[in-house]
Structure 1
Amino acid sequence: MLTKKQLELLSFINKRVQRDGVPPSFDEMKEALDLRSKSGIHRLITALEERGFIRRLAHRARAIEIVKLPDAMENSAGFTPQVINGDRPDQTPPQAQSVHATAIATLPIMGKIAAGVPIEALDDGSRDIGVPGQMLTSNDRHYALEVKGDSMIDAGINSGDVVVIRETMSAQNGDIVVAQIEGYEATLKRFHRNGDMIALEAANPAYETRMLPAGQVEVQGKLVGLIRTY
Structure 2
Amino acid sequence: MIEIDSRAFGNKIKNIRNSKHFSLRQVSNQSKDETGVAISPSYWSLVERGKRNIPKPQTLKRIAKGLRVDESDVFRMAGLEAPTEATNLTRITSSEMVSVPIIGEIACGEPITAIENVSGHMLLPNNLVKGGDYFILKCIGKSMEPTIMNDSNVLVRAQPDVENGQIAAVLLDDDTTATLKRIKKTKNSVILMPDNPDFEPIVLNEDKPGRIIGVVKMEMKMF
User: For the residues of structure 1 that align with 2:205 and 2:194, how far apart are their CA atoms?
Assistant: 17
Structure 1: segments with no counterpart, 5+ residues:
1-13, 15-47, 91-96, 114-120
Once the two structures are TM-superposed, the CA of residue 192 in structure 1 deviates from its matched residue by 1.0
Deviations 1:3-23 (A, max 9, x none): xxxxxxxxxxx9xxxxxxxxx
Pick from 199, 202, 210: which aligns with 1:217?
A: 210
Pick from 188, 213, 216: which aligns with 2:180?
A: 188
Is 1:125–2:93 an aligned residue pair?
A: no
Is 1:167–2:158 an aligned residue pair?
A: yes
Counterpart secondary structure, 1:55: helix
Pick from 85, 102, 112: which aligns with 1:109?
A: 102
User: For the residues of structure 2 that align with 1:164 and 1:69, how far apart are their CA atoms?
Assistant: 32
Is 1:77–2:77 an aligned residue pair?
A: no
Question: What residue identity is the alignment partner of 2:14?
Answer: F
Aligned to 1:158: 149
Pick from 70, 91, 94: which aligns with 1:100?
A: 91
User: For the residues of structure 1 that align with 2:158 and 2:48, how far apart are their CA atoms?
Assistant: 45
8 Å CA contact 2:98–2:126 kept in 1: the answer is yes
Question: What residue identity is the alignment partner of 1:203?
Answer: D
Deviations 1:58-83 (A, max 9, x none): 7x97259989744xxx3x53457956
Q: CA RMSD in A?
A: 4.0
Once the two structures are TM-superposed, the CA of residue 153 in structure 1 deviates from its matched residue by 1.6
Give the structure with the larger strand fraction: 1
What TM-score results when the alignment is normalised by the length of structure 2?
0.58
Is 1:55–2:23 an aligned residue pair?
A: no
Once the two structures are TM-superposed, the CA of residue 107 in structure 1 deviates from its matched residue by 0.8
8 Å CA contact 1:178–1:188 kept in 2: the answer is yes
Structure 2: segments with no counterpart, 5+ residues:
1-5, 21-26, 32-38, 66-70, 81-87
Counterpart secondary structure, 1:166: strand
| Cα gap change, 1:108 to 1:55, in 2 (>3 Å) | same
> Structure 1 vs Structure 2: percent identity of aligned residues?
19
| Cα gap change, 1:142 to 1:52, in 2 (>3 Å) | closer
User: For the residues of structure 2 that align with 1:199 and 1:180, how far apart are their CA atoms?
Assistant: 13
Counterpart secondary structure, 2:127: helix
8 Å CA contact 2:158–2:215 kept in 1: the answer is yes
Q: Following TM superposition, where does structure 1 have runs of at least 4 consecutive aligned residues deviating by more than 6 angstroms?
A: 64-68
Aligned to 1:24: none
Deviations 1:161-190 (A, max 9, x none): 221111111111011111112433321111
8 Å CA contact 2:105–2:117 kept in 1: the answer is no
Question: What residue identity is the alignment partner of 1:130?
Answer: L
